[in-house]
Amino acid sequence: MNYKIIVLLMVVVWALLINRLYEVSVKSNFYYERLAKENIEQKTKLKPIRGEILDRHGKLLASNLIGFSLGLKPHLKIGSLEFNQTLQKLKNSFSDLNTTLLTKVYKKKNSPYNHRFIQVIDFIAYNDMMRVYPELSLDKSIKIEPTTKRFYPYGKYTAHIVGYIGKANKKAVANDEVVKVVGKVGKSGLERYYNKTLQGELGYRIAKVNAYNKELEQLDYKAPVGNRNLQLSVDVDLQRFIYDTLVDENRSAVVIVMKTTGEILSAVSTPSYDPNLFVDGISVKEWNKIRNNLEHPFTNKLVHAIYPPGSTIKMGVALATAKEGRNLALEHEFCKGYMQIGKSKHKFRCWAHWGHGNVDLRKSIRESCDVFYYKKALKIGIDKLSKNLNELGLGVKTGVDLPREYKGVIPSKKWKRERYHQPWYKGETVIAAIGQGYTSITVMQLARYTALLATGYLVTPHFATLIDNKPYEEKVKKIQVDKNILNIVRNGMYDVCNVRHGTAFKAMSKLPIKVAGKTGTAQVTSIGQDVKKRAKEEDLEYFRRSHAWLTTYAPFENPQYIVSVLVEHGGHGGSTAGPIAAKIYRWMYQKGYFGKQPIPYLLKDLY
């Protein structure tokens, strides 16, 4: 037994000795060989130039300013004569230079093991550097290198589309070699969504150096791959026109103008912010100003805000009903101004307290009768309504090329049970039928859904048309709907804008092209049963007023464009969103979007 233990100990000792011998003679040889190689070869990773973003006419929405970065020689002692003289020279060259901050940056990055120049200033404008370049370039303690800085020429106008770049966090640096070298990454908008494309690929340069880090010769070189540009379908002139129109009218609103193919011509979310503030890091003062604004300028309301759709959902409810039976959708309903369920005394009121009388499908859309849709929804039930509305693009992500898109809610029994652990009630089905209650969608969803009503196809909204010179691959899905019912729905939408009793007739009937659409007034606060006469929207406190919707397509006979407007707390869709949509159509007509010359008298109130 003792013999076996002694043998085992000898085996263990010999194993340890052999392992140590391997590490000393073989493994360490590889290590020191690599270390020696690094002492004679220096590899420098080369930054690519970030791709630019252009509108449909080639106007720059995100560009690169040309300038210089500035580095200091390593191993300078803080407070030494050489360091202080170098610092003073820089201060004399750039009067607004923060030498205290520069010293902190240098101290943090300086190390006995670092033999490369330490970058202390990321960007100096070209003109500012040219004044002092001859003097600074002669100083061996200073290294000047060309660089670029992101710039957004249209600032607030395109902030929610283009987004911005900023300093990369630890996670981004760890996951992307390019980001690690560049130090900047797309933080929002298209800058974030297409970051991989826009940032390009690293290059490198390998040079042979001596013990003093002096370059002796170049051994290898690979150019970085940059300038991967992004061209958009956006018309920045239309973008500016819509934004300025909303600001002039003092409206917080969301507007989307889209081709029926899915190409987005304009997408405005107001109020907005200047993305240039974020490129070098925003100040606390500016950040608090944006953060404390109750109208949330930093929120991209195109895809990151959800709203009750109100009556704009009614066409979808009609198609959902038709899917469960054509005759069910075609049945007339009688509206006496309200409806009750069973023996309940609770009145589900129509917006028109006098009632609409006998209502067919076309009239229900033209005059936006609530009772018609209350009754249809009860006949098919919430689960079938929810399923069919999802198929029409509501309550699901659109697939638009913006990051972190919200999907909203088209409620069902299962959804409520999982969310609130409560049963579903018939009264909730009733209010879901007019886009209230739990129901919420994005404006991007509404524009897509409107394109479906106009064409019968569910498209994928998109901003990009060329991605590094490669065409965007459009995604289109044919939706099976009852063509007869869809035609009646379209005629109802035509009536909304062109027939005297239509809810958007006043604003939309005198345009140079025929427009079809639907208004919506989405309540944000409930109205008590004891209230006999509703207060006027303009008499309510601002944040208690309803959201105003209008979604449209044109021309009616050959749909090409979608214009969807949401005015936050704007009151009535026809009277508030209608004039905005009308101005947009007039502008587009004048600019040739409909292939005709402008009619002067129709354009008199354009500007």
Q: pLDDT tens across 96-124, in order? A: 888 888 999 999 888 887 778 899 998 99
Q: pLDDT (tens digit, 9 = 90+) per residue, 341-380?
A: 988 888 998 988 889 999 999 999 999 999 999 999 999 9
Query: What domain range is 213 assigned to?
Result: 48-232
Identify which of 385, 366, 342 has the alpha carbon closest to the alpha carbon of residue 490.
366
Is 92 part of a structural domain of the chain? yes
Statement to judge: residues 532 and 469 lie in one domain: yes
Cis peptide preceding 461, ω within 30 of 0: no
Mean predicted confidence (pLDDT) in 314-333 = 94
Is 72 part of a structural domain of the chain? yes
The answer to whether residues 577 and 548 touch, using CB atoms and an 8 Å cutoff, is yes
Q: Cα(438)–Cα(91) distance, rounded to whole angstroms?
A: 60
Last residue of a domain, one of 232, 248, 283: 232
Is 32 part of a structural domain of the chain? no
For residue 207, give the 3-state DSSP assignment. Answer: strand
Is 30 part of a structural domain of the chain? no
Statement to judge: residues 391 and 408 lie in one domain: yes
Statement to judge: residues 452 and 379 lie in one domain: yes
Statement to judge: residues 347 and 223 lie in one domain: no
Write down the pLDDT at residue 510: 92
Mean predicted confidence (pLDDT) in 400-420 = 97
Statement to judge: residues 210 and 247 lie in one domain: no
**Rounded alpha-carbon distances, angstroms, from residue 316 to 53, 168, 327, 402:** 36, 43, 16, 25
Q: Phi/psi at 465 (nearest 5 deg)?
A: -115, -35
CATH number at residue 262: 3.40.710.10
Q: pLDDT (tens digit, 9 = 90+) per residue, 488-523?
A: 999 999 999 999 989 999 999 999 999 999 999 987
Q: pLDDT (tens digit, 9 = 90+) per residue, 55-87?
A: 999 999 999 999 999 999 998 999 899 999 999
Q: Which residues neighbour 509 within 8 Å (Cβ) at sequence distance 6 or greater?
A: 497, 498, 502
Write down the pLDDT at residue 21: 75
Q: pLDDT (tens digit, 9 = 90+) per residue, 291-315?
A: 888 888 999 999 999 999 999 999 9
Statement to judge: residues 378 and 444 lie in one domain: yes
Model confidence at 12, pLDDT cuts 50, 70, 90, reads confident
Last residue of a domain, one of 182, 205, 232: 232
Statement to judge: residues 189 and 256 lie in one domain: no
Statement to judge: residues 174 and 247 lie in one domain: no
Statement to judge: residues 192 and 332 lie in one domain: no
The answer to whether residues 153 and 236 touch, using CB atoms and an 8 Å cutoff, is no
The answer to whether residues 299 and 264 touch, using CB atoms and an 8 Å cutoff, is no
Statement to judge: residues 417 and 445 lie in one domain: yes
Is 521 part of a structural domain of the chain? yes
Write down the pLDDT at residue 35: 53
Write down the pLDDT at residue 216: 76
Statement to judge: residues 350 and 490 lie in one domain: yes
Write down the pLDDT at residue 542: 57
Is 20 part of a structural domain of the chain? no
Model confidence at 567, pLDDT cuts 50, 70, 90, reads very high
Mean predicted confidence (pLDDT) in 178-188 = 92
As for how many domains the chain has, the answer is 2
Identify which of 140, 139, 147 has the alpha carbon closest to the alpha carbon of residue 121.
147
33: how many CB neighbours lie within 10 A of its CB? 10
Write down the pLDDT at residue 444: 98
Asked if residue 581 has pLDDT above 50, the reply is: yes
Write down the pLDDT at residue 379: 95
The answer to whether residues 70 and 124 touch, using CB atoms and an 8 Å cutoff, is yes
CATH number at residue 168: 3.90.1310.10
Asked if residue 22 has pLDDT above 90, the reply is: no
Is 278 part of a structural domain of the chain? no
Statement to judge: residues 187 and 141 lie in one domain: yes
Last residue of a domain, one of 232, 257, 287: 232
Q: Cα(581)–Cα(603) distance, rounded to whole angstroms?
A: 14
Write down the pLDDT at residue 486: 96
Is 344 part of a structural domain of the chain? yes
Write down the pLDDT at residue 213: 67
